[in-house]
Amino acid sequence: MKFARTVWKILVAIKDGLVLLLLLLFFGGLSAALSMRPTGSHVQEGALAITLDGPVVEERAKVEAGAFLLGGGKTRRQYVLRDLVRVIEAAAGDGRIHAVTLDLEDFGGASRVTLSRIGAAMDKVRHAGKPVLVRAVLYDDGAYQLASHASEVWLDPLGGVMLRGPGGTMLFYHDLLDRLKVKAHVFKVGTYKSAVEPYVRNNFSPEARQAENQVYGALWHDWQDEVKTARPRANLALVTADPVKWLAASGGDAAKAAVAAGLADKIGDKADFGKRVAEIVGNDKTDSAMAYKATRYSTYLARLHAPDAGKPVAVVTVAGEIVDGEAGPGTAGGDRIAALIDKAAASGAYSALVVRVDSPGGSVLASERIRSAIVRFKAKGAPVAVSMGGLAASGGYWVSTPADRIFAEPTTITGSIGIFAVIPTFEDALGKFGIGTDAVRTTALSGQPDVLGGLSPTMEGVLQSEIDMGYRRFVGLVAASRHKTPEAVDTIAQGRIWDGGTARQLGLVDEFGDLDQAVAWAAQRAGMAKYHPVFLGDASDSFAGVLQQIFNDDGDSGTSDDSTRAAGHDLVGRVAMARLAVAGQFAGDLDRLVGGHGAQAYCLECAGLATPVTGAAPNALQRVGWLASLLGLAR
């Protein structure tokens, strides 16, 4: 037996050694792949070629290495706004770059605020005397907002321009829940807190419709103003008043109609576009995929040095839904973000903090943890500024309350100061299938909340009291921050959303400005003559990020996402893709109903105004399957 144990130990040691050797070989090969991967090792004279084949976001979502590898190395590419702007603005002053091209064929969308910031960077290139050329098959509102800032707008012969304006359909589930015998117990404060209306109504309440119309009208007005300023010859009235008549005037040819209305300059496919750029910057004989001399986006970005002169200003990003725990980046995990802020405060390296918010809100508890961490940072005598992106509503405004100054844009959506909770119970549904319930209680709260037997009046009173208390706290935080009385805040709260311009008039926002202006203000308040931003928790050098670098080659072929490749790029294909957005909305609404969430400071009506996401969460999709099964039983 002793001999056998010795042999076994030797075999285990050999096995462990082989595993270690394989790991060393793997990481050695990975390092070699990175060093040998052709990236266009230098910036060459010609154009800066940018293919936006994904959404532009404030913070790139975390990619799990295991899921990435098991998925075959396919992810939806995301572009970080600050990186994209830095690249375009650097090209304006780079003598090697003679033009900038943007391919928007697979553009994944962005918020209005984000698009305006990119457009301003494009304007800098044009003001430097360099042309900006843009191409796409179909331009929707977002893509055209970018295209309007270009010198030349190119359109595929089979393409067109479809301007729809903000707005759309929300789903309401009251009758469905009645059919399923599911009771949605809603606890809320706020006349305009329409986040709960899908569960208790079949349409918008008059108050919610009023708020939505006001905000969407302001967004559409600002969008038209920007496009008309950037491209005065665009006849938007002709295009939006009667699209059928407009198309008929050009024989139904959408591309020719766009040129006739001044929306586009040239009609041609990708090859024609490449020849035109080659006329400006010269032909490239070495790159078969691109006819003109160019440096690709990733190559140019890799060779740009992040600013590091002067003292550091800490910048923390609150992007996506605010949730409990360590989630993110790309989702605002309350514990994760609070830890980043506390670590920065403890280091003593930062004398100012800027909080960049682009969130519809979420968990009250997570929002409070982020807010408390900001207060702790501020307690050290450091100025705090908040920079609102496209969306800073509900919990997104909660975390903004400690700020000494709040910056926003005219098209920022903010407000939605209110709280709600939804708890479904299934006592009637169980009875329909012959399942009875009974209970033994020692107090009025025994076994409560009871999703199977129903909520007792006492439990309902306790929950509503909790929501009332949360709302009073929310209003109190805003009142203290904005130097108003709680009564004055309550009149502009009630869960109502506001556009940035109106929010500024109401005192919820201090001034218009972007992230750079917020950083400059914080640095000035901290007495810094020279400064540079440091983005806390930047995970761009993570292992999964390295894998993405290898597998998601920055080619000219469009997107690396197979699902997007398979989708149609023309008008009919894009309209058909709207079904994915509806499915995502349905999955998200269902998850909010039965997902076990706590009190929420969330702006559900803002969902259509956020940066597009790549798909519904897996747990939400599982609940869609659960509901489908339940519907089958209810027939």
Report the alpha-carbon distance of residue 210 to residue 508 in Å, rounded. 20
CB 268 within 8 A of CB 157: yes
Q: What residues have CB less than 8 Å from 425, skipping those under 6 apart?
A: 182, 183, 185, 449, 450, 451, 452, 453, 454, 455
CB 48 within 8 A of CB 86: no
> Residue written as tokens 């496209």?
390
The torsion angle over the Cα atoms of residues 22, 552, 306 and 409, rounded to 10 degrees, is -140
The torsion angle over the Cα atoms of residues 93, 95, 101 and 106, rounded to 10 degrees, is -70
- Given CA atoms 332, 335, 341, 343 in this order, what sign does their dihedral have? negative
First to last CA, the chain: 67
| Own/partner long-range contacts of 485-492 (Cβ < 8 Å, ≥24 apart) | 489/417, 492/415, 492/417
Report the alpha-carbon distance of residue 613 to residue 55 in Å, rounded. 8
Residue 394 annotated among the catalytic residues of the structure? yes
Which listed residue (359, 367, 387, 394) is catalytic?
394
CB 339 within 8 A of CB 377: no
Structure token digits, residue 7: 């042999």
Q: What is the DSSP letter of 305?
A: P
CB 393 within 8 A of CB 423: no
Which listed residue (193, 256, 293, 484) is catalytic?
193
Report the alpha-carbon distance of residue 173 to residue 590 in Å, rounded. 9
Q: Is 620 exposed, middle or buried (0-12, 13-18, 19+ CB in 10 A)?
A: buried
Find the helix or strand (DSSP H, E) in which 588 lies: helix 571-594
Q: What residues have CB less than 8 Å from 509, skipping those under 6 apart?
A: 388, 406, 407, 408, 412, 414, 500, 503
CB 96 within 8 A of CB 45: yes
Residue 298 annotated among the catalytic residues of the structure? no
CB 370 within 8 A of CB 475: no
- Alpha helix locations (H) across 308-408? 334-347, 364-378, 395-398
Q: Is 174 exposed, middle or buried (0-12, 13-18, 19+ CB in 10 A)?
A: middle
Report the alpha-carbon distance of residue 610 to residue 112 in Å, rounded. 9
Percentage helix, strand, coil for the chain under 3-state DSSP, each rounded to 5? 50, 15, 35
Report the alpha-carbon distance of residue 451 to residue 439 in Å, rounded. 13
The string of DSSP letters for 77-145 reads --EEHHHHHHHHHHHHT-TTEEEEEEE-TT-----HHHHHHHHHHHHHHHHTT--EEEEEEEE-HHHHH
Residue 232 phi/psi, 5° resolution? -60, -30
> Residue written as tokens 């119309």?
213
| Of the candidates 513, 526, 522, 525, the residue with the CA atom closest to the CA atom of residue 315 | 522
Give the residue numbers annotated as catalytic, written as ranges. Answer: 193, 394
